[in-house]
Amino acid sequence: MGRRRSQGTSFRGKSARDCICCGVILLVWLAVWSPRLHGPINFRWDASAYYILGTALSQGHGYRLLNEPGEIEAVQYPPLLPMIVAAVQSVMATTDFFKVGCALRLTYFVFSALLLLMSYALVRKLLSPVYALIVGVMMAISFSTMLEPSDVLYADLPFAMVSVAFLLWQQKSDRPMFAAASGLLAAAAYLFRTAGLALFLAWIAESVIRRRFGQAAIRVAICALPVLLWQAHVWRVTRSYEYQHPAYSYQRADYYYPNVTYAANSRLIDPFQPELGHTRLHDIVGRLVRNIAAVPLGLGESTITRAWFAPFCSTQLHQALRVPLSDIWRKLTSGALKSGLFTAGLLALIGAILVARGQQWFLSLYFATTIASIVITP
């Protein structure tokens, strides 16, 4: 009886500490969000394409870019985020970008809270409440992880939310209910972003590593369904008369990012310098080498902030306060930030290796497949 009582007390103590930590994270989240709760979400760059596609769906035009001559069918972006936009427009009975944009900002407000809480729960499987709290607070105030993705209508935030939810449910996927939920979440991740392919590969590879080949076959079938459905749409559009005879000469050019497939865009040596031509075998090798070398810095940037932040702050400080800043000072601050970000990225890689040696090795497997998918892109 005494042992049971002590175990119950210990469990309640852990739960209380976790609740306090989650409360602190939510307070930080509210403090970060309070100045940004008003007005529509950012619709610049790719976000405008997501909104236009959602509008086309809500108005019954199909999956089309209404801003393009001929209202061409889209093949770049998987459809789940535009479907959310269409659902919000249908509920509000309007396509007014200001009204819908405000609702979408509140939607991302909720998404970011769910992402933080689920991330805390995931980190708790590896670390104590105090360290998980530190990770949660760092995540809440990180420009690259939370502030930027939550402020613009990109698929990054909902993709991250669904992916973390998958990682939580996947650990119990031996049970039928959890297995079904894992499959739905994996499909949703892919339909938010094609990068969800890395999650598919890791999920299937886990079964193969465990020598559960029947389970692996089932997972292959589950993963193949959303991929085949989306790729069938892409195949139909790219072979249509409309695609082959665009309204203007460069409407479906490989460099016209929103109007073509990822595969077409990735064939270019540099999508922002199409005059360099298409990738050849030796270009792919060079791309891999450059991208692998850039991984530590990229990881640091994705965790904390961009490398351009230091020179940007120096410029703003000089312009706003007329503070004289020498070129040496600018180079030192920029170099210090890059060194810090590079170190943070190396620590992330070392951490992934350490996690791979423990019970939560699937996290490192997914991390590795994600990095691999990144380094092969332009």
Q: What is the pLDDT of residues 176-234, one digit of tens each?
A: 788 888 999 999 999 999 999 999 999 999 999 999 999 999 999 999 999 999 999 99
Instruction: Say which range, 122-136, 261-275, 315-329, 334-348, has the weakest mean pLDDT.
Output: 315-329
% of the chain beyond a pLDDT of 90: 61
pLDDT in tens, 5-30: 555 555 455 688 999 999 999 999 99
Q: The domain containing residue 163 runs over which residues? A: 155-247
User: What pLDDT is attached to residue 245?
Assistant: 94
Tokens of 217: 């076959």
User: What pLDDT is attached to residue 340?
Assistant: 87
Long-range contacts, 40-43 (Cβ 8 Å, 24+):
40/97, 40/98, 40/100, 40/101, 40/102, 40/104, 40/105, 41/101, 41/102, 41/104, 41/105, 41/108, 41/151, 41/152, 41/153, 42/151, 42/152, 42/153, 43/97, 43/101, 43/152, 43/153
Let me know: does 221 contact 237? Beta carbons within 8 Å.
no
DSSP β-bridge partners for residue 268? 278
Measure CA of the first residue to CA of the last residue in the chain; give whole Å: 63
Query: Do 285 and 220 have their domain in common?
Result: no
Mean pLDDT value across residues 157-162:
96
Mean pLDDT value across residues 27-36:
94
In a domain, 330, yes or no: yes
Give the domain-ending residue among 200, 227, 247: 247
DSSP-derived secondary structure for 146-177: IITGGGB--SHHHHHHHHHHHHHHHTTTTSHH
pLDDT in tens, 75-103: 999 999 999 999 999 999 999 999 999 99
In a domain, 70, yes or no: no
232 versus 272: the higher-pLDDT residue is: 232
Query: Do 243 and 288 have their domain in common?
Result: no
Query: Do 188 and 228 have their domain in common?
Result: yes
Query: Do 286 and 347 have their domain in common?
Result: yes
User: What pLDDT is attached to residue 350?
Assistant: 92
> CA 268, CA 249: separation in Å to the nearest integer?
18
Count of domains forming the chain = 2
pLDDT at 334 over 70: yes
> How far, in Å, are 28, 200, 374 from residue 20 at the CA level?
13, 35, 37
User: What pLDDT is attached to residue 224?
Assistant: 95
User: What pLDDT is attached to residue 321?
Assistant: 65
Give the domain-ending residue among 247, 262, 288: 247
> How far, in Å, are 62, 77, 359 from residue 374 at the CA level?
31, 17, 26
Query: Do 294 and 376 have their domain in common?
Result: yes
DSSP β-bridge partners for residue 73? 64
User: What pLDDT is attached to residue 362?
Assistant: 93
User: What pLDDT is attached to residue 271?
Assistant: 83
- Confidence class of residue 1 from pLDDT cuts 50, 70 and 90? low
Average model confidence (pLDDT) for the chain? 88
Tokens of 9: 């007390």
User: What pLDDT is attached to residue 307?
Assistant: 76
Query: Do 170 and 236 have their domain in common?
Result: yes
> CA 360, CA 75: separation in Å to the nearest integer?
36
Helix (H, G, I), strand (E, B) or coil at 73: strand
Give the domain-ending residue among 229, 247, 265: 247
Query: Do 242 and 314 have their domain in common?
Result: no
- Confidence class of residue 331 from pLDDT cuts 50, 70 and 90? confident
In a domain, 148, yes or no: no
User: What pLDDT is attached to residue 325?
Assistant: 65
Alpha helices in the chain (DSSP H): 2-33, 46-58, 80-92, 97-124, 129-141, 156-170, 176-192, 196-209, 213-238, 241-244, 262-266, 281-303, 309-321, 327-356, 361-375
Query: Do 226 and 283 have their domain in common?
Result: no
In a domain, 207, yes or no: yes
What is this structure's pTM? 0.87
pLDDT in tens, 286-303: 888 888 888 988 888 888
Let me know: does 249 contact 229? Beta carbons within 8 Å.
no
Query: Do 362 and 301 have their domain in common?
Result: yes
Tokens of 229: 């459905």
User: What pLDDT is attached to residue 336?
Assistant: 83
pLDDT at 305 over 90: no
pLDDT in tens, 48-77: 999 999 999 999 999 999 999 999 999 999
Query: Do 240 and 283 have their domain in common?
Result: no
Sign for the CA dihedral angle at 267, 159, 54, 183 comes to positive
